[in-house]
Amino acid sequence: MKKSTLWVAAMAAILLTGCNQAATTGTASPEAAPPAPPAAQAAQPQAAATPAPEAKPTTPVAAAPAAAPATAGTPPKPADAKESRWGQDREQVQRRLETVNTLVEVSSGAKKVASSGRPEAMATRDLARSLRDQAKTLLEKGDLKGASEKLSQATQTMFTAVKEADAGASKAAKKEQDFNRRMESVKVLTDALDRIGKEKSSNEAAESSRQVKTLMGQAQSMMTSGDADGGRAVLDKAYVTAKTGIEHLRRGDTLVRSLNFASKEEEYHYELDRNDTHQMLIGMLLKDSGKVSDPMVKDFVAKAAELRRQADQLGGSGKFAEAIQVLEASTAELVRAIRGAGIYIPG
């Protein structure tokens, strides 16, 4: 065998030994292979320019310990094991019952319902009491869930009763506020009536003022006793009486000095308003006076109504001058009816 052939075989054996060692240790051979002859270079990939570092034995990494097993003796909770707010605790439900009983019977809300005098609020409170009693019965039977539900219903029902009582209080407060405002208006009109009466030295104005003040006193007494609607009705009578008295006292001066109408039609509408005011007054004053069936008063009212009908026809035909005269006659009949009922107004 030729020397060159032996040399190549020896180099191949060395290279094979290095590859096996690298595969076993995962590192390169500790010694760099000598340069291969041209023939060997053609068969192998080009070696790296930097020699491989010396291989070191590797230490196997210990495996991580397995997770600890679940603690024995603790069974998992089922998905539906979440308890309600009160759960199955009898003491909790008992305390809840005591709280609801306080709410329904002695709380500030209970006192508000009792003092409101509103039937709907008191009926709702009775319903809350019934629900509370049902809860107590269920608790005695051991039905804690049912008792808790009834107590919740009783609480909500009682809250509704308090709201109804508040609504009534708000309505009553508004009535009182409206009454006080109207009372102030009547006082202003009465002062004006007294002042104009003194200026004219009118005994009629003094009598009218006295009647207005009597009505004001009656209205205030009714309001104080809790009859807000009745008091307001009487006070409205006082208001219209004072207003009509002032209108009669001033009417002569107004027509002579300052009342200048642009047309007869405008004056006609002014007289219509005066007639409407007196009709309103006669309706308010005679309704409770017991004089509606008085033949004389009924006659005055009937004449006034007939004259008003004629005036409406004349005004609708454009005959405003004639309609004005008829309206004034109608208003005069209404004044007679008012005086015949015992309510005196100047004029």
pLDDT band at 292 (very low <50, low <70, confident <90, very high): low
C-alpha neighbours within 13 Å on the C-beta side of residue 75: 4
Q: What is the pLDDT of residue 325?
A: 94
Q: What is the pLDDT of residue 182?
A: 87
pLDDT in tens, 242-286: 888 877 776 655 443 345 677 888 888 888 888 888 887 777 766
pLDDT in tens, 63-85: 444 444 444 444 444 444 344 44
For residues 315-341, average pLDDT: 90
pTM (2 d.p.): 0.42
Q: Which residue has the higher pLDDT, 296 or 19?
A: 296
Candidate from 8-12, 75-79, 123-127 with smallest mean pLDDT: 75-79
pLDDT band at 343 (very low <50, low <70, confident <90, very high): confident
Distance of CA 61 to the CA centre of its chain: 73
Cα separation of 239 and 178, whole Å?
Answer: 13
pLDDT in tens, 29-64: 444 444 444 444 444 444 444 444 444 444 444 444
pLDDT in tens, 127-173: 999 999 999 999 999 998 899 899 999 999 999 998 888 876 677 78
Average pLDDT value for the chain: 75
pLDDT band at 108 (very low <50, low <70, confident <90, very high): confident
Q: What is the pLDDT of residue 220?
A: 94
Q: Give start and end residues of each alpha helix (H) in the chain.
A: 3-25, 38-43, 90-105, 108-116, 119-140, 144-200, 203-224, 228-253, 264-287, 295-316, 320-340
Candidate from 72-76, 90-94, 289-293 with smallest mean pLDDT: 72-76
pLDDT band at 342 (very low <50, low <70, confident <90, very high): confident
Q: What is the pLDDT of residue 344?
A: 67
For residues 325-345, average pLDDT: 85
Question: Among candidates 172, 168, 165, which has minimal Cα distance to 122?
Answer: 165
Alpha-carbon Rg for the chain, nearest whole angstrom, is 54
